[in-house]
Amino acid sequence: MNHKTVSEALDHRRSIRIYDNNQPLDTSKVVSCIRNATLAPNSSNMQLWEFYHIENKETIAAVAATCFNQPAARTADQLVVFVVRKDLWKQRAQANIDYLNSAFEKEKKRDSKREKMALNYYQKTMPMLYGTTNKIVGFIKYLSVQFMGLKKPAYRQIKLEDLRVVAHKSTALAAQTFMLSMAEIGYDTCPMEGFDSLRLKKVLKLPAQSEINMVVSCGIRKQEGVYGDRFRVPFETVYHKI
């Protein structure tokens, strides 16, 4: 199988609505593409995501039902559900702390200032951002940031809803990395936002604090699964040179 360039993968990738059930995917290759998804850029390297890879046909059918039995889900050979786990921030922050301690330990010439700054980021800044669940305390924190912003640039997206958006953006970057990796090897995908999130979480037995970012169906396209030519608004309407 010839691997595509990035531009070729982008050109190949379409949202496929109908898959060819006579052409099963190589599971190991799909797993490799999911592994690539973990390399996606993400906010503060917190990696607040999980990936649920579904091969079992009964489970695919159950998930498809929560996706309103749309053909992209119903005819898929495999599914990958991208899940946001903002509730795992303590574990992810600690994983970064452990890694940094190990990395600094290996350095022959330690930079104490850089080491302290890096560790403080995960030991103090992350708990300040993700650890505040009290709305009153959160609002006071928000007001203090706005006040600081009167004198100098300040990071203002610190409300709980802001952090939720941040976690979803990072997970979406992982999903895009996965889909381009699939396109690179000639496999097809379709990202789906149309699903009953409550029922889908029950099918996958997900914890209440988790949130589903998107469901990505996977397979080999049937020609009728490409719904028309690709359309994009003119480049000049979205490109602004400053």
Q: Is residue 185 part of a domain?
A: yes
Q: How many domains does the chain have?
A: 1
Q: Is residue 107 part of a domain?
A: no
Q: Is residue 239 part of a domain?
A: no
Question: Has this prediction a pTM greater than 0.75?
Answer: yes
- Sheet containing strand 78-84, edge to edge, reads 49-54, 78-84, 211-219, 188-192
CA distances in angstroms from 124 to 104, 115, 117, 118, 119, listed in the order given:
18, 14, 10, 10, 8
Find tokens 């903002």 and name the residue.
Answer: 86
CA distances in angstroms from 167 to 62, 115, 176, 191, 209, listed in the order given:
27, 26, 14, 18, 13
Q: Is residue 17 part of a domain?
A: yes
Q: Is residue 75 part of a domain?
A: yes
Q: Is residue 189 part of a domain?
A: yes
Q: Is residue 28 part of a domain?
A: yes
One-letter amino acid of 240: H
Percent of the chain with pLDDT over 70: 100
Residue range 196-207, pLDDT digits in tens = 999 999 999 999
Q: Is residue 240 part of a domain?
A: no
Residue range 10-58, pLDDT digits in tens = 999 999 999 999 999 999 999 999 999 999 999 999 999 999 999 999 9
The residue range of the domain holding 182 is: 6-85+172-228
**pLDDT greater than 70 at residue 1:** no
CA distances in angstroms from 35 to 38, 49, 162, 194, listed in the order given:
5, 13, 27, 25
Question: What's the CATH code of the domain at 214?
Answer: 3.40.109.10
